Chains A and B, each alone.
Chain A
Amino acid sequence: METLKAQKKDSQKKKTMRISGAEAIIHCLLAEGVDLIYGYPGGAIMPVYDELYKFQDRLTHILSRHEQGATHAAQGYARVTGRVGVAMATSGPGATNLVTGLADAQIDSTPMVCITGQVPRHLLGSDAFQETDIVGISTPVTKWNYQITRVEEIPEIMAKAFYIARSGRPGPVLVDITKNAQFDELDFVYEKCTKVRSYKPVPKPEAGSLEKAAELINNAKKPFIVFGQGVILGEAEAELKAFVEKTGIPAAWTILGLSAMDTDHPLNVGMVGMHGNYGPNLLTNECDVLIAIGMRFDDRVTGNLDTYAKQAKIVHFEIDPAEINKNVKVDVAVLGDSKETLKDILPLLNENEHKDWKAEFDKKHQIEYDTLIKNDIYPTKEGLTMGEVIEQINVASEHKAVMVSDVGQHQMIACRYAKFKQSKSNITSGGLGTMGFGLPAAIGAKMGAMDREVVAIIGDGGYQMTIQELGVIFQHNVPVKIVVLNNDHLGMVRQWQELFFDKRYASTVMTNPDFVKIAEGYHIKSRRVTEREDLKEAVQEMMASKDPYFLEVKVEKEDNVFPMIPSGASVSDVRLK
């Protein structure tokens, strides 16, 4: 009797519906709290699009102008909200166009679920129209992927996809669904996935590791923190701040760690890495304890590993065990979610100040300011600089805007000079360095944070890689602010050619179209600035606009980004010019 009751209760709880696979996919998305997806229809995904049509009051689908744009928009959305971004495409070319976005999300740990249509099961392997092995192709660039060939698999696999994408170290998941599974019917019941038996998303810290880490930190004379995106993904900003303030340790960030801590915080000493700040790079090789938090010692951060922080004991707070000792040998690894581990270590840490040590950073900052920063953001030379544009945006946005950047010189300048009060405000393609990321990512970021200003900073090269996404901005009136810093060159490659290839400017000079006219073609308010005297007012006009706005700034053609650590050189060799 008891069991009968229990069974009855159970079946009431899990109400089943007889629906098609395509409709089931929509219900899965809704059950996961998805209300916005980006995508592009085509033959093998049409049943799902037919259901999207029926469910458009509950689930908004944004038609990108290229599938790559859909993935970057989903990434921008995910990065600004911390939720899973969703992109959808058809089989064959639709699916292969997702690959760059998947690779970008994989290397930058962005939670994303991509759904692709596939030819019907009976045609698999027959070289059918628009058939491609997207599961094979996407394997190295996904956290997980799966091909659904039977309709019954849909609820379980979709639940697993979302769970895997967002749990532990997040990443992209691709689910490929054959057309027969979309048409066939099932008794639909959805249960969220909470565990996968072979998968341990968050490892536990080894016994004693917190104590060992605390001892090293407490005894350090010149401790130095480098934090990365792990702090943002783990939503550990408050815990990081408490850690930094209690211990008085200077803290620098990797490019993806930017905005996890107020850029004006007195202990925030700037960016590390190839175009990072002078002090943090130089002093990496003078600190006695280096505390790495949610970062992965990328080669653009470390330069030559043989000369990277060799004098220091290294403590690594990290969620992914495979990152421990991958590039840099550490003395203490603290495994786990940074929100937990930073909270747990706090009581073990002594209150401290490191005034003399912090003063070293201030001295180096002064040198960098005098030789570089001043001329970048308050230039007196004739041509406009990228730095002064960023500074004007800082002023107009009061450090509150989300900044999305593309890849290249403008990206380094934007990340060096942008000011942020709030986390999840810096969205850029860090690990993969995907030109073309900026414009679609800004669309996703804006739609994920409608209450915030979103400014896209893009170079003239990257802009033209995904320029077609202006169509989305126009069609849906997405009020993003687009700033193209136009130097008529592929600036970063040109800089390398100047420095390392005897100024042989192979294929880096761009003859560009009239970008203002292109924006006008999409009925987007637009303006071009060529003179310094117009810049401030133009940026203010842009920021005040309620509608999308395009601003082209013609900047100096052959400016270089400094400081710079040449590829393969030591962080100690950071050059100011």
Chain B
Amino acid sequence: MKENHIQFHQDISVQNIMEKQWYTISVYSENHVGLLNRISGIFLKRHINIESLNVSKSEIDGVSKFTIVVYVTKEWTRKIVGQIEKQIEVIKAYYHTDDETIYQESALFKIASHLLFDERQIQNIIKESNSQIVTVSREFFVLAKTGRRHEIDEMHEALEPYGIMQFVRSGRIAVTKATMPISEILQEFQEN
């Protein structure tokens, strides 16, 4: 408690060996108050930023799914997932690279309605970006775009010069190419 910690040459050497990259962590858990705090604390303790977070129901009744995106090394991802899995209410956690998942994000753009008529280019952007008009009113219209992060970023860049009244982007949602046998794991836990 009162001891000084001098670091001579000890660093987290494993981290240097491996490259950072994007990982999608999928956590299947019980739906309990406080679990989000417990999971986010695991990242906080290691000073790792969560780039995106989504919580929803999963394919199993009563089981929640966290989808967390981080930009770290494989080594750290593996350790974090180990710590997450250790939590009592977590059934199973997985991590995958972008190649191993099908993933999407969604974004909403709120834009002044007059621009739709004053700026012809906006109609082209809507067409080319494959986005949808969700609503139109006298004052504003709302565009919804689902896709990869870079597609949303490109659309944002294209619209920005005309003025965006509001913008929001969701966390990543992802499904894996490989199977995730949650039902069997739950079954196994029950039997033990």
Q: How far is the CB of A462 from chain B (nearest CB, A)?
A: 9
Q: How far is the CB of A413 from chain B (nearest CB, A)?
A: 16
- Which chain B residues numbered 9 to 52 have a C-beta less than 8 Å away from chain A? 9-10, 13, 29-30, 33-34, 37-38, 41, 44-45
Most buried by A among B1, B9, B29, B89: B1
Partner of A322, one of B34, B86, B91, B189: B86
A306–B44 CA distance with the chains assembled, in angstroms: 25
A200: nearest chain-B partner, CB-CB: B189
Secondary structure of the B contact surface, majority rule: mixed
Partner of A320, one of B1, B37, B86, B90: B86
- Cβ–Cβ contact A135 & B6, under 8 A: no
- Cβ–Cβ contact A326 & B8, under 8 A: no
- Cβ–Cβ contact B41 & A139, under 8 A: yes
Q: How far is the CB of A547 from chain B (nearest CB, A)?
A: 31
Q: Contacts A198-B90, A198-B91, A200-B189 given: A321-B85 contact, CB under 8 Å? A: yes
Q: How far is the CB of A491 from chain B (nearest CB, A)?
A: 10
Q: Contacts A322-B83, A568-B9 given: A198-B41 contact, CB under 8 Å? A: no
- Cβ–Cβ contact A568 & B189, under 8 A: no
Enumerate chain A residues within 8 angstroms of B37, measured Cβ to Cβ: 136, 139
Q: How far is the CB of A78 from chain B (nearest CB, A)?
A: 19
Q: Is A496 an interface residue (CB 8 A)?
A: yes
Interface residue range, chain B: 20 to 34
A87–B187 CA distance with the chains assembled, in angstroms: 35
Enumerate chain A residues within 8 angstroms of B33, measured Cβ to Cβ: 147
Enumerate chain B residues within 8 angstroms of A135, measured Cβ to Cβ: 34
- Cβ–Cβ contact A568 & B7, under 8 A: yes
Enumerate chain A residues within 8 angstroms of B83, measured Cβ to Cβ: 322
- Cβ–Cβ contact B2 & A196, under 8 A: no
Enumerate chain A residues within 8 angstroms of B135, measured Cβ to Cβ: none
Interface string of B45-89 (1 = CB under 8 A from A): 100000000000000000000000000000000110011011011
- Interface 9-mer from A219-227, A383-391, A430-438: A430-438
Q: Contacts A139-B41, A433-B3 given: A198-B10 contact, CB under 8 Å? A: no
- Cβ–Cβ contact A567 & B86, under 8 A: no
Enumerate chain A residues within 8 angstroms of B30, measured Cβ to Cβ: 197-198
A352–B108 CA distance with the chains assembled, in angstroms: 71
Partner of B2, one of A195, A461, A567, A569: A461
Residues of A within 8 A of B (CB): 135-136, 139-140, 143-147, 164, 195-200, 299, 303-306, 320-322, 324-326, 407-408, 432-435, 461, 490, 492-493, 496, 500-501, 566-569
Given contacts A197-B190, A198-B91, 10 further A-B pairs with CB under 8 A are: A139-B41, A197-B186, A198-B189, A322-B79, A324-B82, A407-B1, A492-B3, A496-B4, A500-B4, A567-B5
